[in-house]
Every structure is written in structure tokens, then in C-alpha cells.
């Protein structure tokens, strides 16, 4: 063991009182400033007025945040009543001043069961209230980052009741959809925290009774839809495949029938898109100017329903941010009008405006009636298949033997109970850094939490001093740090090795694969992780390598990597490669090793697995070798 020395580090310990700072109290008895003339201070009165540490929407104190690892908000009538009494805590992660959409919707009865029964989380039992309307809103926090097909299928795989997601949509960072079956809603609720995403986070599922979705409460009657269809037919130019819906709410034909078609309403816009889909799907030009449009959620349907749309006019509307354009960026537009929208004032100059718009529509040639310079890019119309993944690349057999022998020695020590012998593998001035994927979520809830605190991800760490401190310098510090990491078991058969640089004095290579953590009792954890490690080495001794730089990247394994992990049998590390065997077994082992080309350890493993039946072991070996399931390390002697 090595003692860490921090010669320049001074540790200042502050003892924080559990009580709040009372400097904001209206009366204080300050020493040397006269007697206190107000009424005596009453702690219970202060707590009633300001709330305690365990507030709900007023922001939990540090202790309550630690107690509730999920960080979920309790949505119940009791919490609503008490939320106004809680003390404002500006340092609470759950309190966001100026962004009270969730709380506001809850007070107004939106998305939380209309104020009846509150909200429900998957780890608190089943739904206690049956919705009067028969409808339930399912919310996936941070669901925007997930692919819709993956998320719906992942939930269906573990949901005990088949369900049909109605009106699947993204609301800020959340994903929401509706179900109209109580049993399905209850089953979905129980799926919370049962699915792990690629970053190691548990997928939360919140279910709330709600009113019927807005599209079911249409303000356009069937006879109104017929008038709207006639009005749109009048405004359609078949020669240009253009539809002009400019200021449609004031159209005389609709006004005379007392029909309101307001396109900033979801039902009106959906009715218009449905008529376009059923009658003029070959539309190439659409004018939606002067319609007070604020959101483009419904227009996202145009991507699949009107694939030939080239010109879109959204001028003189109320679009407040260019992020709304992300919802329709799948359109292959060549002309777009956005002038006289609030979003146009957000850019410092015309160049920034054009850049932001063209980022969504790279083929755009005209913006607000002004010609743009031709786009620069690759126009690939036909889908291209990603080439299959290649195996390891060594450059020569000599380098292959050298690296495989090095890795077999390195990871046999790394996966043992003591990593101290790795001191011999590192140069005196070696450096090491560890990196995990950048994420905005709480890393403590991920399986990567143990590695996140030492992660030197440059997207997260901006301070140059901190970047330097996170580098481990000298072999003593490097190995001491490696000893602090969780115990592991690597799947050597999963390793892929690529040589980056090779000279007479330097060898740089990357090794990638999967591993799982091992607890003290020897049992593996459920989570499987993937890694990619860059070793920069120099020659050591006659035929060895010495590490001068070690860069380790760790992430959660993909579903395919997990499926293929630890399939091939791994040799059990032992101090003696060949335990005591009978004379016939020793003779059989030597013969099998010579004929198969495998080393004694893997040859013995193959014979033992086949109960020392030479012919059957040879048959299994031939089959596995043909399938490519025997790792290269089995042939290192």
C-alpha cells in the first residue's frame, strides 16, 4: 500500500449547523446593539411560516434530497396544500424559479389527474384512483432522448397488459402519451425503474388520470369539416400544387357559417393536415402565414404525409424560438418564410439567423424571399449500409503476439484481488486519465457513478486546474488510483485490438471490450459495461512493454454487447497453469495442445469440459474455431 501525500493541500473543515440561518428574521437580539424589544422568537411559528427542510415544491433541503434518491416530486393533494408554506430554497435542484410549468399544470388540473387523486409513481404501488374519463396520461421524464420505437417496445416487453400509446408526443424534455384502459395504465406504472437505458439510468414512468386528449374534443363538427374542405379546395392552385391558407380564420366562406378555423389550435391544425393528406398529398407549396401559430408540433406530421413539400410560408406568426423548427426539420425545404415572427429578433445578425435556419434545412436556397448561397454538403439520396465491424488489426504477427501476451498478463492481474503488481507495467513518469460519457442527468443514479467523479470529460470539465488534477501522474499514483476502482472481470474473448502507431521505440494500440464489476463475495453485478482503452507503450526488457500513457473510457454496454458478453468460456486465473493430473491425462493434454495449437491452460479447459473425451473435445474445438468463438489468447504459448 502506498501513502498519498498532498504537500500543498490545506483542508479546511467547516461545521455546518443543522439549523437555518436566522439573519433574515425580522427581529434579532444582536450582541452590543441593545435589548430585544420584539416578541420572543418562536421556532414553531417560523417553521410554520417558512416550512421545514422537507418541503415539496418549495425545494427540499440537502438532507431530504439525499433521503429521496429518485428525486421524484410527490404529486398529491396534501403536497399541493403544503407547498405554499415551504421556505424558498434557491439551492434546491427541484426548485426552478420562473419555470413552474409542472407545478402550474398541476394546480390547474392538467396532466395530474385534473386535481383528483394526484399523481402516481411506479414504486408506490398501483393506481389508487380510477379516472372518471377512462383516460390516463403516461409521462416519461427525460424521454426526449429515447427513440420512440425503442421506448414503446421496451415498455411493451415488460408490461403485463398490452397497450396502445395514443398521441405520443414530446413536451420539452418529457415524452407523453395516453392510454384509455385502467389495467394498462396500472401495468405501465409498475414498469417504472424496470428498464435501464444505454447510459445506465432507470427509465421512470409516471401515470396520472386525466381528461380525454384534446384531439377527441374537437371543436369542428363533421359538417364544419366539409365547409373547411370546400374552402381549402377554393384556395388550392393545382397548376402549382400550392395551397394558400393565409389568414384562413377570416375567410368569408367560413365566417358566414360561423366556423372558426384557428390554426394555433391543435384540433384545427390536425383537421387541415388530415384534409391535405387525404386529398392533396402531392402538395409542394404551403402558405400558413398570418395564423397566430405558436407551436409546430402538429406540422411534424407533414414530414411523412406531405413528402414533396418544398416551400413553406410561416411568416407573420408567433413562433418565439428557432427550436420549434426542429419539429419540421425532416422536410426537404428549398424555400422558407419566417419573417415577422418573434424568433427573428433573437439573432445578433443576419448571418447567425441564416446559419440557425440552414442547420435545420441544409438544402434551403431562399429564406424570407432572399436568395441564399448554394449549400455545401453531400447529397446522399439512396440509403447506405454501414459496413460490418472488422476484427482486430495488428499490422504483423510479431506485434500481435507481443500485444496479446501483454494484455493477458495485464488483465489477469487487473481482475485479481490485488492490482499492486501492475507497478511493473507502468513507466516511472506514466500518466492515466479516465472518461465517462457526458450527461446532464444525475450521475449518482447511473452504474457509472463510481467512475463519474474521476471523469476527465473535457465537455464537462472546463477549468484547466481541475483538468490537470484529474490526471494521474507517476506510476505510484496511477496504480494507487487503479486499486481504488471497483473490482472487475473482463471478457477477454470480447477484446478488439487496433494498433495505431508502431515504431522501433513506441507502440500505441487501442483495446475495446466489455467487463462487469465483482463484489467481495465474488458474485457479478447485473450491469455490464463497455470500455475502450488506449495504451501508449515503449519497449521494456527483451520482449516486454512499458506503459507511458493510459487513457480509459467507460460506458454502459449496448443490448447487443450484453447479449454476446461472457459467452465463450474464460480461463480461471491460477498460479500454476497445469494442476496435478494423472499420467494419462497429462499425456492427453500435451497431445491435444500440440494438435489444436492452443496453450496448455485452454487445452485443459476444453478437455475438462468434455470429460476428458479426446475425440469429443477435438470435435467441439473444430466447431468453435470455425465459428470464430475461440479468442486469440488461447493460442499464446
Residue 85 · residue 95 · CB < 8 Å: no
pLDDT reading at 506 higher than 90: yes
Produce one character per residue of 575-606: b if its CB has 16 or more CB atoms within 10 Å, e if not.
Answer: eeebeeeeeeeeebbeebbeebebbebbbbbb
pLDDT for 37 equals: 44
pTM above 0.75, yes or no: no
Angle, in degrees to the nearest 10, between helices 266-279 and 222-235: 60
pLDDT for 336 equals: 95
pLDDT for 521 equals: 58
pLDDT for 126 equals: 63
pLDDT for 127 equals: 64
Model confidence band, residue 357 (pLDDT cutoffs 50, 70, 90):
very high
266/95: higher pLDDT: 266
The closest alpha carbon to 62, from 90, 27, 100, 82, belongs to: 90
Average pLDDT, the chain: 77
pLDDT tens digits for 402-448?
999 899 999 999 998 789 999 999 999 999 999 998 765 655 556 67
Angle at 330 between CA 325 and CA 333, to 5 degrees: 80
Please give the average per-residue pLDDT across 209-224, as a whole number: 71
Produce one character per residue of 54-79: b if its CB has 16 or more CB atoms within 10 Å, e if not.
Answer: ebbbbbbbeebbeeeeeebbebbeeb
What one-character DSSP code corresponds to residue 196? B
Domains of the chain by start residue, with CATH: 136-214 (3.30.70.330), 217-371 (3.80.10.10), 397-564 (3.10.450.50), 583-634 (1.10.8.10)
Q: 3-state secondary structure string, 266-316?
A: HHHHHHHHHHHHHHCCCCCEEECCCCCCCCCCHHHHHHHHCCCCCEEECCC
Cell of 527: 450491469
Residue 481 · residue 456 · CB < 8 Å: no
Model confidence band, residue 377 (pLDDT cutoffs 50, 70, 90):
low
Residue 434 · residue 554 · CB < 8 Å: yes
pLDDT for 156 equals: 92
Model confidence band, residue 52 (pLDDT cutoffs 50, 70, 90):
very low
Cα gap 199→436, rounded to integer Å: 10
pLDDT tens digits for 71-101?
343 333 333 343 334 444 444 444 444 444 4
pLDDT for 205 equals: 94
Cell of 84: 405554499
Model confidence band, residue 331 (pLDDT cutoffs 50, 70, 90):
very high
Model confidence band, residue 28 (pLDDT cutoffs 50, 70, 90):
very low
pLDDT for 562 equals: 86
pLDDT reading at 48 higher than 80: no
**20-29, 37-46, 434-443, 616-625 — which is least confidently predicted?**
20-29
Please give the average per-residue pLDDT across 395-407, as a whole number: 90
pLDDT tens digits for 237-264?
999 999 999 999 899 988 888 888 888 8
pLDDT reading at 576 higher than 50: no
pLDDT reading at 500 higher than 70: yes
pLDDT reading at 106 higher than 60: no
The closest alpha carbon to 181, from 160, 202, 200, 201, belongs to: 160
pLDDT for 219 equals: 62
**131-135, 200-204, 208-212 — which is least confidently predicted?**
131-135
Cα gap 74→102, rounded to integer Å: 12
Model confidence band, residue 532 (pLDDT cutoffs 50, 70, 90):
very high
Cα gap 207→88, rounded to integer Å: 28
pLDDT for 533 equals: 96
Indicate if the alpha-carbon torsion angle 86, 90, 94, 95 is positive or negative. positive
Amino acid at each position: 500500500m502506498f501513502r498519498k501525500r498532498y504537500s500543498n493541500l490545506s483542508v479546511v473543515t467547516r461545521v455546518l449547523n443543522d439549523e437555518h440561518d436566522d439573519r433574515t428574521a425580522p427581529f434579532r437580539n444582536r450582541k452590543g446593539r441593545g435589548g430585544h424589544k420584539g416578541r420572543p422568537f418562536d421556532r414553531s411559528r417560523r417553521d410554520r411560516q417558512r416550512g421545514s427542510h422537507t418541503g415539496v415544491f418549495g425545494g427540499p433541503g440537502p438532507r431530504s434530497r439525499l433521503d429521496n434518491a429518485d428525486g421524484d416530486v410527490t404529486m398529491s393533494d396534501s403536497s399541493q396544500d403544503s407547498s405554499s408554506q415551504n421556505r424558498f430554497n434557491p439551492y434546491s435542484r427541484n426548485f426552478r424559479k420562473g419555470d413552474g410549468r409542472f407545478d402550474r399544470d398541476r394546480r390547474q388540473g392538467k396532466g395530474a389527474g385534473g386535481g383528483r387523486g394526484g399523481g402516481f409513481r411506479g414504486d408506490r404501488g398501483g393506481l389508487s384512483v380510477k379516472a372518471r374519463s377512462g383516460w390516463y396520461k403516461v409521462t416519461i421524464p427525460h424521454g426526449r432522448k429515447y427513440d420512440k420505437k425503442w421506448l414503446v417496445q421496451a415498455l411493451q416487453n415488460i408490461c403485463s397488459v398490452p397497450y396502445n400509446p395514443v398521441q405520443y408526443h414530446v413536451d420539452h424534455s418529457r415524452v407523453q402519451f395516453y392510454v384509455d384502459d385502467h389495467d394498462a395504465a396500472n401495468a405501465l406504472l409498475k414498469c417504472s425503474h424496470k428498464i435501464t437505458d444505454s447510459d445506465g439510468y432507470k427509465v421512470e414512468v409516471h401515470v396520472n388520470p386525466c381528461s380525454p386528449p384534446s384531439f377527441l374534443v374537437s371543436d369542428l363538427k363533421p359538417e364544419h369539416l366539409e365547409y373547411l374542405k370546400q374552402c381549402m379546395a377554393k384556395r388550392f392552385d393545382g397548376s402549382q400544387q400550392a395551397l394558400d391558407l393565409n389568414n384562413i380564420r377570416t375567410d368569408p366562406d367560413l365566417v358566414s357559417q360561423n366556423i372558426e378555423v384557428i390554426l394555433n389550435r391543435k384540433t384545427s391544425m390536425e383537421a387541415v393536415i388530415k384534409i391535405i393528406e387525404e386529398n392533396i398529398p402531392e402538395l409542394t407549396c404551403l402558405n400558413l402565414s398570418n395564423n397566430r401559430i405558436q407551436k409546430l408540433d402538429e406540422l411534424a406530421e407533414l414530414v411523412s404525409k406531405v413528402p414533396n413539400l418544398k416551400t413553406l410560408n410561416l411568416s407573420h406568426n408567433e413562433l418565439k424560438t428557432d427550436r420549434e423548427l426542429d419539429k419540421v426539420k425532416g422536410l426537404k425545404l428549398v424555400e422558407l418564410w419566417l419573417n415577422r415572427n418573434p424568433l427573428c429578433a433573437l439573432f445578433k445578425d443576419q448571418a447567425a439567423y441564416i446559419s440557425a435556419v440552414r442547420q435545420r434545412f441544409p438544402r434551403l436556397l431562399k429564406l424570407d424571399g432572399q436568395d441564399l448561397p448554394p449549400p455545401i454538403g453531400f447529397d446522399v439520396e439512396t440509403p447506405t449500409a454501414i459496413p460490418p465491424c472488422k476484427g482486430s488489426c495488428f499490422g504483423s504477427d510479431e506485434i500481435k503476439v507481443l500485444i496479446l501476451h501483454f494484455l493477458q498478463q495485464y488483465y489477469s492481474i487487473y481482475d485479481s484481488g490485488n492490482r499492486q503488481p501492475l507497478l511493473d507495467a507502468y513507466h516511472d513518469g506514466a500518466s492515466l486519465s479516465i472518461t465517462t460519457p457526458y450527461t446532464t442527468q444525475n450521475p449518482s443514479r447511473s452504474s457509472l457513478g463510481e467512475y463519474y467523479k474521476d471523469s476527465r470529460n473535457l465537455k464537462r470539465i472546463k477549468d484547466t486546474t481541475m483538468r490537470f488534477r484529474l490526471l494521474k501522474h507517476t506510476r505510484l499514483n496511477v496504480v494507487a488510483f487503479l486499486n481504488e476502482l471497483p473490482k472487475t472481470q473482463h471478457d477477454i474473448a470480447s477484446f478488439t485490438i487496433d494498433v495505431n502507431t508502431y515504431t522501433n521505440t513506441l507502440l500505441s494500440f487501442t483495446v475495446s471490450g466489455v467487463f462487469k464489476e465483482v463484489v467481495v463475495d465474488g458474485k457479478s453485478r447485473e450491469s455490464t459495461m463497455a470500455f475502450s482503452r488506449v495504451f501508449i507503450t515503449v519497449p521494456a526488457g527483451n520482449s516486454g512493454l512499458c506503459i507511458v500513457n493510459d487513457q480509459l473510457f467507460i460506458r454502459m454496454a449496448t443490448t447487443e454487447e450484453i447479449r454476446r458478453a461472457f459467452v465463450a468460456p474464460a480461463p480461471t486465473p491460477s498460479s500454476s497453469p497445469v494442476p496435478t493430473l494423472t499420467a494419462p491425462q497429462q499425456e492427453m493434454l500435451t497431445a491435444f495442445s500440440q494438435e489444436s495449437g492452443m496453450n496448455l491452460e485452454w487445452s485443459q479447459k476444453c478437455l475438462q469440459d468434455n470429460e476428458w473425451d479426446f475425440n469429443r473435445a477435438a470435435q467441439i474445438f473444430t466447431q468453435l474455431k470455425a465459428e470464430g468463438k475461440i479468442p486469440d489468447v488461447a493460442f499464446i504459448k
